[in-house]
């Protein structure tokens, strides 16, 4: 029996889609037929990924958005709905590492607040903005990109690990709220993946994360994108509130 992964005719929003994991998610989702709206603070990057998708025969567009601005998030989603009438898929790949290589007790509350603004509060804003129309149509797929750091913790990455743990908790609780209404909310917890987010990660922290992976290598963004494309498709209809493992064997739970 053929998998029900065809996304033709669906509108997908990928926040943080100008590079790294977000860009790969956008490409994989578009390759399965969806029209992808790429949201990113980096408009040139978003347009570049959209151009790559269109050159490959897909449908995509780039739009600029500061996800830490709740009003801007609402206006952006309203604009997409005005143009496309619906949003079936939301993938949130927005994220920063925050301070790394520093013990938690040496960080200030502001170090945590800044990371939470980008990694966690924006995720709530995005999800809340698309939810009403998903409930109205009785269908929706939401994917929040979390991290293995949110499940196991990584030393000297306190703000990042804390935001991802919070995100996983939000996914699990909010998914139960809409489980009977046609909307699924899931997350994926990658180990370290080849992505610009790690450009500023302290070398000793990066080495630690790689040493924890039984496969002995880092993940590729395409591996995340392909898994996400499956989870946000009609094929993954009976899974919600779940954290998908993508760690090369580091976590098997």
Q: Contact at 8 Å (CB) between 147 and 164?
A: yes
Residue pair 150/123 in contact by the 8 Å Cβ criterion: no
- Quick check: 37 and 80 in contact, CB under 8 A? yes
8: helix, coil or strand?
A: coil
DSSP 107: S
Measuring CA to CA, which residue among 26, 67, 32 is closest to residue 46? 26
Q: Which of 251, 20, 219, 24 is nearest to 154 (CA)?
A: 251
Reported as type and span, the H/E element at residue 36 is strand 35-40
Which of the following is catalytic: 112, 121, 139, 160?
Answer: 160
For tokens 């977000």, name the residue: 22
| Catalytic annotation present for 253 | no
DSSP 235: T
Q: Supply the residues annotated as catalytic.
A: 160
């Amino acid at each position: 029996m053929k998998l029900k992964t065809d996304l033709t005719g669906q509108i997908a929003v990928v926040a943080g889609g100008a590079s790294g994991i977000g860009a790969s998610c956008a490409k994989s989702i578009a390759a399965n037929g969806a029209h992808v709206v790429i949201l990113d603070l980096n408009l040139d990057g978003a347009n570049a990924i959209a151009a790559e998708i269109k050159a490959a025969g897909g449908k995509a567009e780039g739009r600029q958005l500061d996800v830490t601005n709740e009003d801007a998030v609402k206006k952006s989603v309203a604009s997409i709905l005005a143009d496309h009438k619906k949003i079936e898929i939301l993938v949130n790949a927005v994220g920063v590492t925050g301070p790394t290589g520093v013990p938690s007790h040496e960080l200030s509350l502001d170090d945590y607040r800044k990371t939470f603004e980008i990694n966690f509060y924006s995720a709530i804003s995005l999800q809340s903005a698309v939810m009403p129309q998903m409930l109205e149509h009785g269908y929706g797929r939401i994917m929040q990109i979390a991290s293995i750091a949110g499940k196991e913790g990584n030393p000297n990455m306190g703000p990042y690990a804390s935001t991802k743990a919070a995100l996983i908790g939000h996914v699990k609780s909010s998914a139960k709220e809409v489980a009977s209404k046609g909307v699924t909310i899931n997350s994926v917890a990658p180990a370290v993946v080849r992505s610009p987010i790690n450009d500023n990660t302290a070398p000793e922290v990066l080495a630690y994360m790689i040493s924890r992976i039984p496969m002995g290598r880092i993940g590729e963004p395409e591996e995340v994108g392909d898994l996400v494309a499956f989870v946000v498709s009609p094929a993954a209809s009976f899974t919600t509130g779940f954290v998908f493992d993508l760690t090369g064997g580091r976590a098997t739970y």
